[in-house]
Structure 1
Amino acid sequence: MKIIILSPLTIPLDSSFKKLIPNEPLAYKKVHPHPWVTNLAYGLSHDKNHQVHIVTLTSNVNKDIVFIHKNISYHLLKSSPKFIREITLNFIDNLKVQKYIKSLNPDIVHGQGRQTDGLSAVKSNFPSIITSHGEIENELLSYKKNIKYSIKKYFENKVNKKMKFAIGVSQDTVTNLKKFLPEENVFLIDNALDPVFFDKYNLEWNPIVFYAGAISPRKRIFELIKTVEQLKDIKLHIATQTPKDNTFYKKVIEYVTLNKLNNKIIFLENLTPKQIAQEISKCLCTVLISNFESFGMPLAEAMSIGKPVIGSRTGGIPYLINENKTGFLIEPGNINQLKEKINLLHKDINLAKEMGKAAAENAYNRWHPFKVAEKTLKAYTLAITKGN
């Protein structure tokens, strides 16, 4: 099966990858790694009967680039200037993608999200499926309802009308997709994790709360820092890919410095998945208390290694956590609840170990790339059969 995955710029966090495009330093500037895309592609490409192509439009390259990394073909297509994209609503770039898809002649086109990639997939004239990570109202909680919001809502509405098959990454997302599609055309398939999170680690139970993700208001980073600030013997390790010149990140650093928390709040930048896994193996628990998460990959990563988690009761997070068995759920922004749950795990390491063990039991079947690929291929097959 020849598979095209349309995705935002997707760069594996792998040093060997950089050697493939040494003359394109822009490819590594302000990149969201979108690990679920590369993880799924890895699972799909493991079967030599499948050809996997990740196609992305990006302003981060000076020309179109194609190369192969770990049996996956990456196609980085140079996009139009920003003002052209905005005034044409990506019309010119969409035509470029359509032409490129036709040249590859795939069996299935898989669009990531209900934005431009999803729209290119459903307009490709090939069997298609999209993966939705949630509605715009939820995904853009950190945005105001301005022109940017309106444009994204426009694309979402177009995809909702044209899509025939869709994958939701949580029960919350699936429920939304069923408003637009017959139930049999909607699939609940979790995001795939990097295989390193299924390696065996010597688990330590140090008084460290771990967070991995963006430094942004939506993630409630200040609430997390202020909670740990009140816990005498607990440290917070923050692993992030957010650039240091980010305005909000600067405010966070300033707060930590002014309050002399540099030995208590530790920032770990640009870690590889393996390094993140090693950090998780040494912590007490992983925490994600965002306003909204369609899935919550950092929680799944921690659970796969065998650590308990604490997450906010919103979006797809309750779908991940078996409450009081594999982790705890708190109301978004409730610092007292967060402090209580961290203290509970800190004072009762046996409870933390018990919850971590329970968390790891079903992780492989839910989140390993090979298992996610199996489920995704079944969805592809149905989309190809019924789509034709």
Structure 2
Amino acid sequence: MSDYFTDLANTFSKKYKVLVFTDVKTAQNALSRDVIVKYWPSGRPTQVKDFIFFYKEIRKFKPSMCISVFGAVNVFLIISFITRVKARIAWVRTLSTQFPQRKILLCRKALVYKFATKIIANSKATKFDVSDKYFVNKNKINVIPNAVRDYNSVLPEIKTDRNKIVYIGRLHPSKGVDVLLRALAILIKTSPHVNLDIIGAGSMRSELELLVDDLKLKNRVSFLGAKSKNEVLTCLRGAYCSVVPSYSEAFGFTVIEAMSVGTCVIGTNNTGIKETIQDNKTGLLFETGDHEMLAEKLRHIYSNQNFRDKLALNGYRSFLKFYEVSERVKQDFIFFEDYM
């Protein structure tokens, strides 16, 4: 469970009986004692036994609202529709392009979304994607952005390493890591001491390692693999810049994570990323796939640290206003309660 959904459940539990269905055994540690935690029979709730289990629980507790996200959406919407739950809400946080574009899968999801009384998208890009791909009426979709805690105030003091750039995410063709590597090859001509840390795993690692060799960046790039949340945040906090070079993102979660620790962010000018970063104000944007433009943006912040520091500060202030968990939950709780 993310910080956001944990806090939302705890906030609801002050006035209502709340059940959380999860496969994470440690989820209960962060939840209020008033929250009832149920664990799916399967690791991912897609089996027949999960549907039967959920049906029995819904019949027992008779909720007035069901909120679902990720792998639980299908079982939540189908069973809550059958049992006539008044408010049936599905949270969509991923673009359809991240899934196999098989017609039968798109049709199945379109049918499932018809059982929802409300769809929550994490960005305008996600809203349009849900509407276009799954034929959901736009009036049925509300946008509520992702949120994380204010980690800047709880992490230990860490000095910014001027020579450190960081990428965090999957090593997948859609993430544009190759674009970042080509930009780095240009940047080191004027900033020869810059290094890139790549945090994450994926199918492209071998291909990217070959590209690193071809670009003669072996001494400048470190593949660190998957890291814990605290390790990721610590790495972000110490970086001079975080780069999000994705070809598409529903929201750009790593953007607000970087902002939450006061780190400057550069991202692609597309989908959810451009909704989160205000160019030249809270971060920098470059054209999708354009490694030369990315290199120019990186050169700009390396030639003007005051400008970089201003972007980082403005990014943090924007995060506090729009994407910090406690503030986000206060607003969203009112929205959900009014909808019940």
Range of TM-score over shorter length: 0.7 to 0.9
Residues 332-384 of structure 1: CA distance to partner in whole angstroms, max 9, x if unpaired? Answer: 11111111101111111111011111111121232222122223322321332
SS in 2 for 1:263: coil
Paired positions, count: 322
**Tell me, which stretches of 5 or more residues in structure 2 are unaligned?**
none
- Whether the 8 Å contact between 1:44 and 1:52 is mirrored in structure 2 is no
Determine if the alignment matches structure 1 residue 158 to structure 2 residue 111.
Answer: yes
SS in 2 for 1:315: coil
Change in CA separation of 1:250 and 1:103 when aligned onto 2, cut-off 3 Å: farther
CA distance in 2, matches of 1:67, 1:355: 35
**CA apart distance, 1:205:** 4.9
SS in 1 for 2:162: coil
After TM superposition, the structure 1 stretch with the greater mean CA deviation from structure 2, 163-172 or 264-273, is 264-273
1:354 to 296, 299, 310: 310
- Whether the 8 Å contact between 2:88 and 2:115 is mirrored in structure 1 is no
1:120 to 61, 64, 75: 75
CA distance in 1, matches of 2:58, 2:150: 29
Residues 189-243 of structure 1: CA distance to partner in whole angstroms, max 9, x if unpaired? Answer: 1112144255364552512221111111110112212221332222111122x2x
Change in CA separation of 1:81 and 1:134 when aligned onto 2, cut-off 3 Å: closer
Aligned to 1:139: 98
SS in 1 for 2:114: helix
Q: Summarize the alignment of residues 178-189 of structure 1 with structure 2, pairs less than 5 Å apart.
A: 180-181=136-137, 183=139, 185-189=140-144
Determine if the alignment matches structure 1 residue 167 to structure 2 residue 136.
Answer: no
> What TM-score, normalized to structure 2?
0.82
SS in 2 for 1:314: coil
Residues 78-118 of structure 1: CA distance to partner in whole angstroms, max 9, x if unpaired? Answer: 33999xx6xxxx566434433344445444211115xx522
Aligned to 2:42: 79
Aligned to 2:21: 55
Residues 119-160 of structure 1: CA distance to partner in whole angstroms, max 9, x if unpaired? Answer: 322231322211122542x333xx4x4xxx334313321133
CA distance in 1, matches of 2:91, 2:103: 21
CA distance in 2, matches of 1:205, 1:351: 16
- Whether the 8 Å contact between 1:284 and 1:345 is mirrored in structure 2 is no
SS in 2 for 1:230: helix
CA distance in 2, matches of 1:52, 1:203: 42
Aligned to 1:94: 51
2:184 to 228, 240, 243: 228
**CA apart distance, 1:324:** 1.3
Aligned to 1:13: none
SS in 2 for 1:377: helix
Aligned to 1:272: 228
**CA apart distance, 1:308:** 2.2
CA distance in 2, matches of 1:304, 1:102: 41
2:29 to 62, 69, 75: 69
The letter for the 2-side match of 1:302 is A
After TM superposition, the structure 1 stretch with the greater mean CA deviation from structure 2, 322-331 or 96-105, is 96-105
CA distance in 1, matches of 2:18, 2:300: 45
CA distance in 1, matches of 2:68, 2:211: 40
Determine if the alignment matches structure 1 residue 316 to structure 2 residue 272.
Answer: yes
Change in CA separation of 1:151 and 1:192 when aligned onto 2, cut-off 3 Å: farther
Change in CA separation of 1:271 and 1:326 when aligned onto 2, cut-off 3 Å: same
Change in CA separation of 1:263 and 1:159 when aligned onto 2, cut-off 3 Å: same
The letter for the 2-side match of 1:226 is R
Determine if the alignment matches structure 1 residue 219 to structure 2 residue 179.
Answer: no
**CA apart distance, 1:288:** 0.8
CA distance in 2, matches of 1:301, 1:198: 13
SS in 1 for 2:179: helix
2:247 to 287, 291, 294: 291
SS in 1 for 2:171: coil
**CA apart distance, 1:258:** 6.9
The letter for the 1-side match of 2:325 is P
SS in 2 for 1:191: coil
After TM superposition, the structure 1 stretch with the greater mean CA deviation from structure 2, 337-346 or 122-131, is 122-131
Aligned to 1:61: none
The letter for the 2-side match of 1:128 is R
CA distance in 1, matches of 2:26, 2:242: 37
Root mean square deviation, CA, Å: 3.0
SS in 2 for 1:162: coil
